[in-house]
Amino acid sequence: MDFIFYTPSPASILTILLIIGGIAAIYYKKLTFTLGLILLNAAIFILTLVSWPTTIIELGFRPIFLRPEYFPQLYTMITSMFLHSGFLHLLGNMITLFFIGLALEQRIGWKNYFIVYILGGIGAVLIHSLIYLNDPTHQGIPLVGASGAIFAVMGAIAYSYTNDTIVMPIPLGFIAIVRPIRAIYAVGLFAALETFFAFQDNMDSTAHFAHLGGLITGVLIAVLLIGKNGSRIKSTIRAGKSKTRYYNPYNQPSYDHINYDTLRQFASTPQLNSQLNRIQTETVDQVRDIWLQDYLEKIRCPTCGRPLQHQNRRLSCPQGHINVKY
């Protein structure tokens, strides 16, 4: 059997080198991998604008490449994850990656996160391509975009951190709102939408089965690699209790020391008391800070009922009734 290999153009070779060099730079510069991937995808998009559409055609993965004679083209499973068909395609994926990627990376560390991202993206490509392998309409169409890998990240966080609160853009028609939401609810919404569109004969050019494939692959990787609440990865003991460490990708963070006893005296309603309990038990810094900011905006001076001023970890009443550090 003769193998078929499409020789990449100079622009495509440059794109491949940028992908390899970009990932190496993220590692050696010890950047947060999520932010590094966003910058790398943006850089590659700018590069492909110059060589459009050659790079998309040459480095996008096509279902027909699963046939044995196209074995040399399997490398495009990786390159296709870093290509985008347009600015809105890139923007939507990178916004979602920013929120969901950081949330998972902080929980499991950059190494495990990168495994989920790359293997999840490959799984998304494989499932999409197996479905359309013998479909003459789709088998030759290049598949591009980071969304398969992003859905794998979603699947992993939904399985391993089901009840954790994450900050996510939630689609509402043609707009999206960013709000804290439980991981299972956010991912469940995306999964329901993708399942609905996947079985519609609408030819909207979106690879919905790749999204679902990434989601499924992410769950499977989480089962094998992460476990529930990170039970298969590094744990540590903090405050005398054994719990999963939600750490910075390269260095375990020092947790801010918040005096919750000071804040508790201003929890004048059951709702505020419940919110403070949530803040106290939240282990993801960004989520905790969002809830804390909201709490500080709601509390009032017990003497005069006026909103408290908060600056440099200090609460003060405009009338001078309260001046405490938390």
Please determine, for residue 283, whether its predicted confidence score (pLDDT) is greater than 90: no
pLDDT tens readout for residues 144-194: 999 999 999 999 999 999 988 888 888 776 677 888 888 899 899 888 888
What mean pLDDT comes out for the span 293-305? 87
Give the pLDDT of residue 287: 63
- Round to whole Å and give the CA distance between 41 and 159: 27
Percent helix, strand, coil in the chain (nearest 5)?
A: 60, 10, 30
| pLDDT top residue among 145 and 284 | 145
Laid out side by side, the sheet with 314-316 consists of: 309-311, 314-316, 323-325
Q: Is the pLDDT of residue 118 over 90?
A: yes
Cα distances (Å, whole numbers) of residue 265 to 273, 274, 276, 321? 9, 13, 11, 14
Per-residue pLDDT tens digits for 208-267: 889 999 999 999 999 999 998 888 875 432 333 333 334 344 443 444 578 888 889 989
User: Rounded to an integer, what distance in angstroms lies between the CA atom of residue 233 and that of residue 239?
Assistant: 19
Name the token pair of 2: 């003769």
- Determine the average pLDDT of the residues in 21-44: 92
- Cβ-contact 112, 222 below 8 angstroms: no
How much is the pLDDT for 51?
A: 87
Mean pLDDT of the chain: 85
Query: What single letter denotes the amino acid at residue 191?
Result: A
Q: Residue 62: pLDDT above 60? A: yes
Long-range contacts of 312-318 (CB under 8 A, 24+ apart): 315/262, 315/266
Facing residues of 163 across strands? none
| pLDDT at position 235 | 42
Superfamily of domain 10-230: Rhomboid-like (1.20.1540.10)
pTM over 0.75: no
pLDDT at 130 over 90: yes
φ/ψ of residue 233, rounded to 5 = -120, 180
Look at the alpha carbons of 122, 128, 130, 134 in this order and tell me if their dihedral is positive or negative: negative
pLDDT of residue 76: 96
* End-to-end CA separation in angstroms for the chain: 72
Position 44 pLDDT exceeds 80 = yes
- The pair of structure tokens assigned to 83 is 């290509």
Residue linked to tokens 């004969």: 201
Is the predicted pLDDT of residue 293 greater than 60, yes or no? Answer: yes
pLDDT attached to residue 96 = 92
**Percent of the chain residues topping a pLDDT of 70:** 89
For 170-207, the DSSP string reads EEETTEEEEEEEEHHHHHHHHHHHHHHHHTS----S--
pLDDT at 1: 65
What are the residue boundaries of the structural domains of the chain, listed by start?
10-230, 256-325
**pLDDT computed for residue 174 by the predictor:** 67
Q: Determine contact, residues 280/239, Cβ cutoff 8 Å.
A: no
- Phi-psi bin for 23: left (phi > 0), alpha (psi -120 to 50), beta? alpha
Average pLDDT over residues 25-40: 90
Mean pLDDT for 63-92 is: 94
Using the 8-state DSSP alphabet, how is residue 64 labeled?
G
